[in-house]
Amino acid sequence: MRNNTNFRPRTPKFKKLFENKGGEYGTFTGLYSAESWLRENGFRSGSLDRDKYIAITKGEYNLPQKIHNFDKKDVDQMAGVIYSTDYREGTVEVWLYDDYKQQY
Q: What's the confidence (pLDDT) of residue 58?
A: 94
User: Which residues sit opposite 91 in a β-bridge?
Assistant: none
**pLDDT tens for residues 33-48?**
999 999 999 999 999 9
Instruction: Report which of residues 6 and 65 the model is more confident about.
Output: 65
User: Distance (Å, rounded) from C-alpha 23 to C-alpha 76?
Assistant: 39
Q: Give the predicted TM-score (pTM) of the model.
A: 0.86
Mean pLDDT for the stretch of residues 3-18: 83
Nearest Cα neighbor of 73 from 60, 58, 89, 62 is 62
User: Distance (Å, rounded) from C-alpha 5 to C-alpha 90?
Assistant: 22
In the chain, domain spans: 14-96
Mean pLDDT for the stretch of residues 46-68: 90
Cα end-to-end distance, the chain, whole Å: 38
Q: What's the confidence (pLDDT) of residue 1?
A: 46
Check: CB of residue 47 under 8 Å from CB of residue 66: yes
